[in-house]
Amino acid sequence: MCTKTLNVILFILTVLCGNVCTDKMNVLFLVSDDLRPQIGAYDSNSYPPHVSTKMYTPNIDSLASRSLLLERAYVQQALCGPSRASFLTGRRPDTTHIYKCGEYFRKKGGNFTTIPQYFKMNGYKSIGMGKIFHFKGKNSGGNDPISWSAPYFHGARNYEQISTSWAAIPDEELDSKPLLDDQTANHAIETMRNFSLDNSTDKQPFFLAVGFRRPHLPFVFPASVLEYYPEVSLPHNPSPPIDMPTLSWTEFKRFTSYSDVKYTGTRDNARLTHSTVLSLRRAYYSSVTWVDHHVGRILQELEILGLSNNTIISFIGDHGFQLGEHGSWGKQTNFELSAHAPMMIHIPGKTNVGTRSSSLVEFVDLFPTLVEAAGLNPLPPCPENSNVVELCREGVSLLPLINETDKRLRGSAFSQTPRDDFMGYSIKTTNFRYTEWPRFDKLQFKPQWSDSSSVELYDHRIDPEENVNCANDPAYRKVIDRLRKRLRAGWRKSFIGSVYDA
CA–CA distance, 466 with 143 (Å, rounded to integer): 36
Give CA torsion, residues 453, 459, 460, 462, to 10 deg. -140
| Strand, coil or helix: 32 | strand
Q: Give, in order, the Cα–Cα distances in Å from 13 to each of 6, 16, 20, 245, 444.
A: 11, 5, 10, 65, 58
Q: Which of 366, 378, 374, 369 lies closest to 400, judged by CA?
A: 369
Residue among 2, 21, 50, 80 flagged as catalytic: 80
Task: Say if CB 215 and CB 284 are below 8 A apart.
Answer: yes
Q: Quick check: is 134 catalytic?
A: yes
Catalytic residue among 97, 134, 216, 326: 134
- Measure the CA–CA gap between 423 and 412, rounded to whole angstroms: 18
74 forms bridges with which residues in the sheet?
A: 340, 362
CB environment 108-141: b (16+ within 10 A), e (fewer): bbbebbbbbbbbbebebbbbbbbbbbbbeeeebb
SS3 state of residue 28: strand
Burial class of 235 by CB neighbour count within 10 A (0 to 12, 13 to 18, 19+): buried
Burial label, 468 (beta-carbon count in 10 A; 0-12, 13-18, 19+)? middle
What does the alpha-carbon distance between residue 363 and residue 415 come to, in Å, rounded to a whole number? 10
CA distance linking residue 328 with residue 207, whole number of Å: 37
80 part of the active site? yes
For 182, residues 6+ apart whose C-beta sits below 8 A from its C-beta are: 174, 294
Q: Is 415 helix (H, G, I), strand (E, B) or coil?
A: strand
Q: Which residues are catalytic?
A: 80, 134
